[in-house]
Structure 1
């Protein structure tokens, strides 16, 4: 699902770090509710090619210094540093300064009076300078974010959507009198005002005569107080559209894929010519697949015959269906179900954890989960880290436990003794992938068949590669 050459890497077109995280969360959320609505979102955005391209182009220009959660936490926890009355005081002080400058220009008062007033202004500013400096330092990290994100908000605000979910997200960034993009832009300009502090002469005159830093600080603090409880939602809306754009892009690029028909039928998954979306279509071998609720398939087969690839095809079909994506098949009916897999367990030297113990932890997790919910379970060769006799006994007991739950699933194994469970339980069925030796070469058809595999190929491969 993740890593180099993964499905996530294949579909990810997000431009923001938060959009990327949200896309990953969407794929792993196991959310089986409102799949029809998610399909509609993907379909509508897939048709808005120009809008998606413009949104992504603007988003790719974003280069923020600070992560969005850090900015949101800062805004939420911000404590006002200056008393509010200083705003009116600064205006009054500025008014007096203008009067004194006017009187000085007509030589009505001496320069010394203006100078004294100027020094008083600097003294007042100096009294609050520590708090002002702290805010200036904090806002410097957020300034570019607000400046760039207002453009993305504008992209969302100015588009017309028909889907209720998209319209709801758009509504979240609408205020009674102002657009969220204008509010972000306004805040960005307030933060830009702090940059003038770097100009010594402007800062000196501005603070001595007009209490510029105090006024700017209070304006920023007022903005934070007003919008501190809404900006997280606005950032989330941008992340939502960034993540959904990747899903919509996949839909646009795969017109030959089909959206599953969401049903409550007995079959959890009923697919015609189901394939793996990452394989080359010209070489990919597809399989029909039907599995009923609370059934378990035991899949045996020769090495390299296609068992693991098939399990990954089923896993991705369920993930994609739950996400609201079309899947690699000609026709699909799907009764939504959550997914659990155990296919790539590994040991850990840093955690002093053996391969076998890591696998046991994963199986324990599965057992705990199926106590409270129904799952589609996919296992690729369980209990690989122990001896053959232990493995056979342990695997059989574990499969029996799964079968006695309300779960559904597929287990790929080289242990054909597990296939005997089909004689004890009507819900357990055997399938296999095999290989033939033709002209002293292995031949695979990558088709799933009913029954138990009788042709294993490890000895042949060892001899063929001159290992033995």
Structure 2
């Protein structure tokens, strides 16, 4: 299935090579024109009255600067093709374990106390976020993480999000273009906190209308005076010009502390704004059918005062602010044109026009990015299904359900019918118990976000999800593994009691204590969870717990293995009933540990 991505990768590499040839040709041409311009300049200096040399020198420099502009445009196109090549390379990598090396893992979204994120590999190393994330804006990353971690969408919204993601599944080119525009930079777009604070600030930089008019009108007489001071012999004009330039520069210096704060915001956003504008250039030409995506684009392009104009205007202002980055240029432009104050006044006008809308624009862009990421599984998997999610009942019914983080070639899928009951799952070590529970959990999270799942069919109800799998001790606070597990399971029981519908997944319950206490404790937990109406699964090696299968609302399931002379083979298939085998002795022998009986 990776073939289409390999073909696209090769296509963009070829396009990059063609642009590279043009780039080198123009580089050589630029050098020739620069030498010619230098020679023409020499002739002008030697014979200043020769009009032909003056025209030749001017034309040569004009051609040189045009080639400079053209060269940069080709470089931008090369960067885009290289980015698109890498985008397709990453899609291919997602179909193997190579995606484990992706830099953006969403580590900052990890919370130890989260009810399921750590156990189900939602964010962090080798996580769902790491595999599917194609976002590069701050809001895009945040919204993707929230959709996977907060489980807050209603049945209606899930349905609308599914329609949006289905539409994106049918337009890989659009999805990749949005990613390609932003992935040219190795570093993602940072949180626009300072920009948003400035945009919503109601304090005006300059209140006085006369001063604003003075700043806007001052450059014109100044430039006229400068020209006159060169072409007239009157010394008083030169004196007046000098005094006015000093006074003008002094005005800028007076406001410099406040100017610096605004310029810092504008200059820090410059390269980010280029990415936002690039995304909007792609989105504006796309006509969506799903109401959820239409809602986002209507927010972005509802009138002339739209997101594209907003961000292009801000990008232009940021470029103007960047011009005075060099001290000598700053002195000249501020002395002659009150440059920095002109820029600040433009920023003030921009804020009055767009300040109240900028955050909604950035969120809408992020939401489109987030939905594109959730479509990734559909692009890289051959068999996916959009689940039917209901607010009624407590159930999970699936056919050929697989784990999206396991390679397709080695993945084993299972059917499951879990309705108003608790599974007690037994089986030998490495037989597939934990992977099965993680498959259930991560599939529910994808279903609740509106994304497709790896399955032939999945129907489920909307439930709170809680897990207890990767329990860790905390020596700094004197908390043992067993105590940490007790605390976690208590939270699961209380959540089932207080919050209503819940699906829980508990792996190797009470592994940190002796078998007698473990059995008593495990039976108590299962009965408590059943009493409060929670559904879910518990894995255990204690066959005594299988007696719970005789009670209403509890069912036994197991995984099994086959033994060879020196091998153990697992089929990772879920079966009804309890396990009848153990494999600890065989595993010990396989790794070379002598079993003494």
Structure-2-length-normalised TM-score? 0.72
> Distance in 2 between the 1:206 and 1:446 partners?
73
**Which residue number in structure 2 is paired with residue 121 of structure 1?**
248
Deviation at 1:388, TM superposition (A): 1.9
User: What's the CA shift for 1:330?
Assistant: 2.1
Residue matched to 1:232: 359
Write out aligned runs for 1:378-457 (5 A): 378-423=505-550, 425-439=551-565, 441-457=567-583
Match of 1:183 among 304, 310, 313: 310
Name the residue aligned to 1:23.
144
When the two structures are aligned, how many residues end up with a matched partner? 466
Q: Which residue of 1 aligns with 2:261?
A: 134
Q: Tell me what 1:5 maps to.
A: 126
* Whole-angstrom distance in 2 between the partners of 1:110 and 1:449: 98
User: Is 1:242–2:369 an aligned residue pair?
Assistant: yes
Q: Hey, what does 1:374 align to over in structure 2?
A: 501
Per mean C-alpha deviation after superposition, the further-off stretch among 125-134 and 157-166 is: 125-134
Question: 1:431 Cα deviation (Å)?
Answer: 1.3
Q: How does 1:215-230 map to 2 (within 5 A)?
A: 215-230=342-357
Question: Cα RMSD between the aligned structures?
Answer: 2.7
Aligned equivalent of 2:175, options 52, 76, 88:
52
Distance 1:213 1:399, change over 3 A: same
Q: Is the counterpart of residue 297 in structure 1 residue 420 in structure 2?
A: no
Q: How far does residue 110 in structure 1 lie from its aligned partner after superposition?
A: 3.3
Structure 2 gaps of 5+ residues are 1-120
Q: Specify which of 166, 169, 176 is matched with residue 43 of structure 1.
A: 166
Aligned to 2:215: 90
Conservation of the 8 A alpha-carbon contact between 1:173 and 1:179: yes
Tell me the equivalent position of 2:473.
347
Matched, 1:158 2:285: yes
CA deviation map 1:44-76 (0-9, x unaligned): 011112111211110112446743345434544
Give the 3 Å change call, closer, same or farther, for CA 282–39 of structure 1 in structure 2: same
* Partner secondary structure for residue 285 of structure 1: coil
Contact preservation (8 Å) 1:64, 1:144: no
**Does structure 2 conserve the Cα–Cα contact (< 8 Å) formed by 1:65 and 1:141?**
no
Once the two structures are overlaid, the 10-residue window that deviates more, 277-286 or 242-251, is: 277-286
- 1:330-351 CA-to-partner distances (Å, cap 9, x unmatched) read 2232233232111111123445
1:328 aligns with 2:451: no
Change (3 A) 1:442 1:65: closer
Shift of 1:212: 2.4
Q: Distance in 2 between matches of 1:201 and 1:435?
A: 77
Structure 2 Cα separation of the partners of residues 421 and 268 of structure 1:
20
Higher relative contact order (CA 8 A, sep 6+): 1
Q: Unpaired runs of 5+ in structure 1?
A: none
Q: 1:92 to 1:337 in 2, by over 3 A?
A: same
Which one has the bigger helix percentage?
A: 2
Residue 316, structure 1, aligned to residue 439, structure 2: no
- The two structures have a TM-score, normalised by structure 1, of 0.90
Task: Report the secondary structure of 1:130's partner residue.
Answer: helix
The partner residue of 2:402 within 275, 278, 283 is: 275
Partners of 1:179 and 1:252 in 2: CA distance: 31
Q: Structure 1 residues 48 and 395, CA, compared in 2 at 3 Å: closer, same or farther?
A: same
Structure 1 residue 36: Cα displacement = 1.8
